[in-house]
């Protein structure tokens, strides 16, 4: 071993890393990041896009969550930043402001469909019929008993509603960082809170200021019990499914598409008597659903090759229409008139 | 029988050496200690076996994939463009999916299937069949105009059924494949048109939303680039730093602080290196996101302390007599280091380096921050192209909803374990080969 060898290796390594740094060339593919709920849809579109268009590279889709994606999105303009943020919720005003401060002013908002959120139990059990009220009474931190708010005394689902089985109350719900949690809170807990009368009690307890009391009551309604009745799942639905399999008397919260891919292992519960499926969600009959979005930097159109084409491809009827691969995976497609409008907006690069 | 040491111990205890009760106790103590050791080893081995069993039993099926043999009619008319010419472009855009569906339809003897039947037929084939048939034609154009047998991928759900992860006894309305599809599948099996074959796709495909066309190629290339960069960056820097610290640096408070900090660095959670990489390499230096170059540099930083610590230990293990002899015959300090100390320390350095590389190969957390947890379909050709890494691919597959990804997760784990095994074996071999005893 001579000293030249070591000197050379070191020199090559150092020189190499700087050469790479300088060679960072213009980006020739679309970069996307964001929601893990939107990820499988974006993957399908990216894959098909790469197959269909010869001259463009397949877009790169990162996961990480809606908030993380939008944060990256709002870092600024230029090819070192991402072009599209996927989100399972609407962009917040604070995020729009952060974007504008970093120079990201013209943002295209694209709502490409809906996702249903379902309650499901192990496939071997009986089918459940849930009401938002049942869920609230089972999972809330405080529930009304004889006109007074008390710590949730219910231990079994049967105590909540005689029609439900005699199972211990254990629900696996999405953790705070998930967009799904918000839908669960607003569409189920709040509804149940109002139906059970807890909302009025919370409001009365919060004081006289009407506006403040309303806000406080809403917040109180979202509070779930922490005595083991609910378990926050910070991972993804695979983890929820694994928990259900080890505890078959639990109840899990899933996305519709995940449930549809695992119908042999899960049994879905009806909500207010409506079974969740593509039809009931797209018509709005099934109450627990949310729109899915992605956000595009208009300034990048024209500088990043394939960006406009990708957005148009994503919003084409071939992709997000009722017969497209996204609907097949579990996306709830939007009605035709909405789709027409969206396609028009994309064509004219309409911004928020 | 009694050695000097025994005598001394016994004397220190103030007891007689040949007291049979004491002898018995000492034997018993030794026996117990051995039993504890064996027990500990047994528990460790047991968990290892359980881990390997669960990975291999769930993952080996990923190396097989269900294929369907179709007699695809390649009519010239289907390949002509508007002018009636067959060009490269017209071959590229021909409707291969339809050809595959028609072939399946005639194989199953369906004259005019209804719409739901058509949908069920579609459900048997992978969405990747078009590329498979196209590749066949692009490699040999002369088949146009003939009917040729082509093995194409079955849909992931068909694959899951064949491998038993979808239960035939599940009631139809909750089964991913309906009774009609099951009957078709049975027919295809009976005709020898549907069978499991070795899954080359696992190593040649990039990321995909369908399990049957999802592969490790991008992750393997990405991991290769990263290992290369770690070897090129971390090893020279680490060895140089260690050699300087051991042989040249004065022993004072300052070098003590450096030493303590290097040891601390080795214990820093790996995600911290990812945050550092995001701030320095991407935001400050402007390197592209999702690139294996950035991944490699971040992993280099993470591996550096391991390499330094291992190299220092190896250099320290070289007896001072070697150095003194070299210096004594007139070698300079640098000549002593390069001609005598480093070659003798090489086995230790290699072992430490490979262990560092192995650690880097299995890392996911730091890569999360710099965009390597991504859906990448195209092969990366340079370290600047978007890529993923093996453990990242495992992580991403683990969170997918489709049944086929479960076995692929485990299959990819087997591939990763094989790499780790080979690298560790190389470390042992190199150590044995170059080991010097003094």
DSSP B315-377: HHTS-HHHHHHHHHTT--HHHIIIIIIHHHHHHHHHHHHHHHHHHHHT--HHHHHTT-SEE--
Residues of A in contact with B384 (CB under 8 A): 20, 23-25
User: Do A261 and B209 make contact, defined as CB atoms within 8 angstroms?
Assistant: no
The residue whose two tokens read 């192209």 is B385
Say what the ipTM of the complex is: 0.70
Find, among B228, B240, B233, B229, the residue nearest to B349 by Cα.
B240
User: Do A31 and B338 make contact, defined as CB atoms within 8 angstroms?
Assistant: no
Residues of A in contact with B403 (CB under 8 A): 261-262
Quick check: A71 contacting B, CB < 8 Å?
no
HSE value, Cβ hemisphere, 13 Å, CA-based, for B327: 10
CATH 3.40.50.2300 fits B217-434, yes or no: no
Please name the helix (run of DSSP H) or strand (run of DSSP E) that holds residue A230, with its range, or none: strand A230-233
The residue whose two tokens read 């406080």 is A216
Interface of B with A in 129-168 (CB under 8 A): 130-131, 166-167
Distance CA B284, CA B275 (A): 12
Interface of B with A in 246-305 (CB under 8 A): 282-283, 285-290, 293, 297
The domains located in chain A, with CATH, are: 26-114+290-347 (3.40.190.10), 126-247 (3.40.190)
Task: Categorize the per-residue pLDDT at B294 as very low, low, confident or very high, splitting at 50, 70 and 90.
Answer: very high
Does B184 have pLDDT greater than 50? yes
One-character DSSP codes across A19-84: HHHHH-----S-EEEE-TTTHHHHHHHHHHHHHH-SSSPPPEEE-S-HHHHHHHHTT-SSTTS-SE
User: Do B209 and A329 make contact, defined as CB atoms within 8 angstroms?
Assistant: yes
Structure tokens at A274: 């409506």
In the prediction, which pLDDT does A19 show? 46
Does B351 have pLDDT greater than 50? yes
Could you state, in order of their start, the residue ranges of all structural domains in chain B? 63-199, 217-434
Quick check: B92 contacting A, CB < 8 Å?
yes
Residues of B in contact with A73 (CB under 8 A): none
User: Do A58 and B378 make contact, defined as CB atoms within 8 angstroms?
Assistant: yes
Mutate to test the interface with B, among A62, A63, A69 (most CBs of B within 10 A): A62
In the prediction, which pLDDT does B16 show? 64
Interface of B with A in 19-58 (CB under 8 A): none
User: Do A47 and B209 make contact, defined as CB atoms within 8 angstroms?
Assistant: yes
Task: Categorize the per-residue pLDDT at B164 as very low, low, confident or very high, splitting at 50, 70 and 90.
Answer: confident
Task: Categorize the per-residue pLDDT at B320 as very low, low, confident or very high, splitting at 50, 70 and 90.
Answer: very high
User: Do A44 and B92 make contact, defined as CB atoms within 8 angstroms?
Assistant: no
Quick check: B182 contacting A, CB < 8 Å?
no
Task: Categorize the per-residue pLDDT at B10 as very low, low, confident or very high, splitting at 50, 70 and 90.
Answer: low
More confident residue, B94 or A293: A293
pTM for the predicted model, two decimal places: 0.79
Task: Categorize the per-residue pLDDT at B87 as very low, low, confident or very high, splitting at 50, 70 and 90.
Answer: confident
More confident residue, B335 or B2: B335
Per the prediction, chain B carries an average pLDDT of 88
Quick check: B396 contacting A, CB < 8 Å?
yes
Quick check: A240 contacting B, CB < 8 Å?
no
Coil, strand or helix: which one is B386?
strand
How many cross-chain Cβ pairs, A to B, lie less than 8 Å apart? 135
- pLDDT tens for B328-337 read 999 999 999 9
Find, among B219, B133, B236, B120, the residue nearest to B178 by Cα.
B120
In the prediction, which pLDDT does A298 show? 92
Give the Å distances, CA to CA, from B265 to B269, B270, B365. Answer: 9, 10, 16
In the prediction, which pLDDT does B6 show? 55
Distance from the Cα of B147 to chain A's closest Cα (Å) equals 25
Neighbouring residues of B41: CB distance < 8 A, sequence distance ≥ 6: none
Structure tokens at A95: 């995020």
Backbone angles phi, psi at A174, to 5 degrees: -65, 140
More confident residue, B83 or A13: B83
- pLDDT tens for B233-289 read 999 999 999 999 999 999 899 999 999 999 998 889 988 999 999 889 988 888 888
Does B410 have pLDDT greater than 90? yes
In the prediction, which pLDDT does A198 show? 85
In the prediction, which pLDDT does B5 show? 61
Quick check: B94 contacting A, CB < 8 Å?
no
Coil, strand or helix: which one is B67?
strand
In the prediction, which pLDDT does A21 show? 44
Quick check: B326 contacting A, CB < 8 Å?
no
Q: Please list the pLDDT of chain A residue by residue as tens digits (352 residues).
A: 445 554 555 455 444 544 444 444 568 889 999 888 888 899 999 988 988 887 888 999 988 778 888 988 998 888 888 999 999 888 989 999 999 999 998 999 999 988 888 999 988 888 888 888 889 999 988 888 888 888 888 888 988 888 888 889 999 998 876 777 888 888 889 888 888 888 888 888 877 778 888 888 888 888 888 888 899 888 778 888 888 888 888 999 998 888 888 888 888 999 888 888 888 887 778 888 888 999 999 999 988 999 999 999 999 888 888 778 888 777 888 888 888 999 999 988 888 8
Find, among B437, B348, B346, B351, the residue nearest to A1 by Cα.
B346
- Chain A residue with CA closest to B291: the answer is A24
More confident residue, B307 or A54: B307
SS3 content of chain A, % helix, strand, coil (to 5): 45, 20, 35
Find, among B117, B124, B72, the residue nearest to B94 by Cα.
B72
The residue whose two tokens read 């406009």 is A308
In the prediction, which pLDDT does A255 show? 86
In the prediction, which pLDDT does B17 show? 63
User: Do B386 and A31 make contact, defined as CB atoms within 8 angstroms?
Assistant: yes
The residue whose two tokens read 């809330």 is A140
Distance CA B206, CA B202 (A): 9
Interface of B with A in 62-91 (CB under 8 A): none
One-character DSSP codes across B114-167: -HHHHHHHHTTB-TTHHHHHHHHHHH-GGGTTSEEEEEEEBPHHHHHHHTTSS-
Backbone angles phi, psi at B318, to 5 degrees: -75, 125
């Amino acid at each position: 071993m001579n000293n030249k060898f070591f000197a050379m290796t070191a020199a090559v390594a150092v020189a190499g890393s700087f050469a790479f740094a300088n060679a960072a060339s213009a980006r020739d593919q679309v970069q996307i990041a964001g929601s893990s709920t939107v990820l499988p849809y974006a993957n399908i579109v990216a894959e098909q896009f790469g197959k269909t268009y010869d001259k463009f590279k397949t877009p790169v889709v990162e996961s990480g969550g809606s908030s993380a994606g939008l944060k990256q999105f709002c870092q600024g303009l230029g090819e070192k930043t991402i072009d599209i943020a996927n989100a399972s919720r609407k962009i917040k005003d604070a995020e729009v402001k952060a974007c504008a401060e970093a120079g990201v002013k013209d943002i295209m908002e694209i709502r490409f469909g809906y996702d249903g959120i379902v309650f499901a139990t192990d496939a071997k059990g009986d089918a459940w019929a849930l009401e938002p009220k049942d869920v609230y009474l089972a999972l809330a931190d405080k529930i009304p008993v004889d006109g007074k708010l008390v710590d949730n005394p219910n231990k079994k689902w049967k105590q909540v509603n005689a029609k439900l089985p005699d199972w211990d109350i254990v629900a696996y719900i999405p953790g705070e960082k998930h967009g799904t949690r918000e839908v669960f809170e607003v569409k189920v807990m709040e509804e149940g809170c109002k139906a059970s009368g807890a909302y009025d009690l919370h409001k009365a307890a919060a004081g006289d200021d009407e506006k403040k009391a309303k806000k406080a009551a809403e917040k109180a309604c979202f509070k779930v019990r922490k005595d083991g009745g609910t378990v926050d799942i910070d991972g993804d639905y695979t983890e929820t499914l694994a928990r259900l399999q080890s505890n078959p008397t639990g109840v899990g919260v899933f996305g519709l598409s995940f449930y549809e891919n695992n119908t042999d292992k899960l049994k879905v519960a009806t909500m207010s008597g409506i079974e969740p499926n593509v039809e009931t969600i797209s018509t709005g009959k099934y109450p627990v659903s949310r729109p899915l979005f992605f956000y595009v930097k208009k300034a990048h159109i024209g500088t990043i090759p394939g960006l406009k084409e990708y957005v148009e491809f994503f919003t084409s009827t071939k992709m997000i229409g009722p017969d497209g691969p996204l609907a097949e995976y579990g996306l709830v497609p939007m009605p035709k008139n909405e789709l027409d409008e969206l396609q028009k907006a994309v064509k004219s690069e309409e911004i928020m | 029988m009694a050695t000097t040491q025994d005598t001394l111990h016994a004397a220190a205890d103030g007891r007689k050496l040949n007291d049979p009760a004491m002898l018995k106790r000492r034997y018993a103590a030794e026996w117990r200690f051995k039993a504890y050791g064996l027990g500990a080893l047994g528990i460790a081995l047991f968990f290892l076996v359980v881990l390997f069993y669960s990975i291999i039993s769930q993952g080996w099926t990923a190396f097989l994939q269900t294929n369907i043999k179709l007699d695809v009619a390649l009519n010239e008319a289907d390949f002509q463009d508007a002018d009636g010419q067959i060009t490269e472009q017209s071959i590229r855009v021909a409707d291969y999916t339809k050809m595959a569906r028609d072939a399946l339809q005639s194989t199953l003897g369906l004259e005019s299937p209804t719409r739901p039947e058509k949908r069920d037929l579609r459900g048997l084939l992978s969405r990747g069949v078009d590329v498979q048939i196209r590749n066949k034609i692009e490699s040999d154009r002369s088949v146009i105009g003939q009917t040729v047998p082509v093995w194409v991928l079955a849909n992931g759900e068909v694959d899951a059924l064949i491998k038993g992860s979808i239960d035939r006894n599940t009631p139809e309305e909750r089964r991913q494949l309906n009774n009609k599809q099951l009957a078709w599948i049975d027919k295809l099996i009976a005709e020898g048109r549907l069978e499991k074959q070795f899954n080359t796709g696992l190593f040649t495909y990039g990321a995909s939303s369908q399990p049957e066309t999802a592969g490790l190629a991008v992750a393997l290339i990405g991991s290769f680039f990263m290992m290369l960069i770690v070897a090129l960056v971390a090893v020279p820097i680490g060895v140089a730093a260690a050699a300087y610290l051991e042989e040249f640096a004065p022993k004072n408070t300052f070098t003590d602080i450096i030493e303590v900090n290097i040891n601390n660095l080795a214990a820093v959670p790996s995600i911290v290196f990812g945050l550092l990489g995001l701030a320095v390499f991407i935001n400050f230096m402007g390197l592209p996101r999702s690139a294996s170059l950035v991944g490699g540099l971040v992993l280099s930083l993470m591996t550096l302390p391991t390499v330094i610590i291992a190299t220092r230990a190896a250099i320290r293990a070289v007896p001072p007599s070697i150095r003194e002899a070299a210096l004594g015959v007139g070698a300079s300090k640098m000549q002593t280091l390069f001609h005598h100390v480093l070659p003798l320390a090489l086995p230790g350095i290699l072992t430490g380096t490979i262990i560092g590389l192995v650690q880097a190969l299995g890392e996911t957390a730091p890569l999360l921050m710099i965009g390597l947890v991504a859906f990448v379909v195209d092969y990366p050709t340079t370290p600047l192209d978007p890529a993923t890494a093996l453990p990242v691919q495992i992580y991403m597959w683990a969170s997918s909803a489709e049944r086929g990804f479960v076995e692929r997760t485990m299959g990819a784990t087997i591939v990763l374990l094989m790499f780790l095994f080979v690298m560790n074996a190389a470390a042992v071999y190199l150590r044995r080969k170059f080991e010097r005893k003094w």
